[in-house]
Amino acid sequence: MNQYSIDFKPSVEKDFKALPKKTISRIMKKIEELANNPFPRNIIKLSSTESLYRIPVGVYRIIYEVDTHNRKILIHYVRHRREAYWDI
């Protein structure tokens, strides 16, 4: 199976700076897993949008978009669950 390529919005760098290093490694592992399967069992499509999904990593959420035609994943945000949906 071909992997999806992963891109990050510029805001994700700021999100990572606010996270503990241990958490960043867990989140990066989950993002790498998305490259193989962008629709794992524990994702939820966000009802307020047409194309955004979320996946939990502990108390953090990865908010991302999948382009199945071009096999790309765009990571929008990586934030604590209480802040994850503010900009959506």
Determine the Cα–Cα distance for residues 80 and 2; give it in Å rounded to an integer.
Answer: 31
Q: Over the stretch 39-59, which tens digit does the pLDDT of each residue have?
A: 999 899 998 888 899 999 999
Maximum Cα–Cα distance for the chain, whole Å? Answer: 35
In this structure, is residue 40 part of a structural domain?
yes
Q: Over the stretch 13-45, which tens digit does the pLDDT of each residue have?
A: 999 999 999 999 999 999 999 999 999 998 999
Domain that holds residue 66: 5-80
CA angle 44, 47, 50 (to 5 degrees): 100
In this structure, is residue 87 part of a structural domain?
no
In this structure, is residue 86 part of a structural domain?
no
pTM, entire model: 0.88
CATH number for the domain harbouring residue 61: 3.30.2310.20
Q: Phi-psi category of 71—alpha, beta or left, where left has phi over 0 and alpha has psi -120 to 50?
A: left
> What is the count of structural domains for the chain?
1
- The radius of gyration of the chain from alpha carbons, rounded to an integer in Å, stands at 12
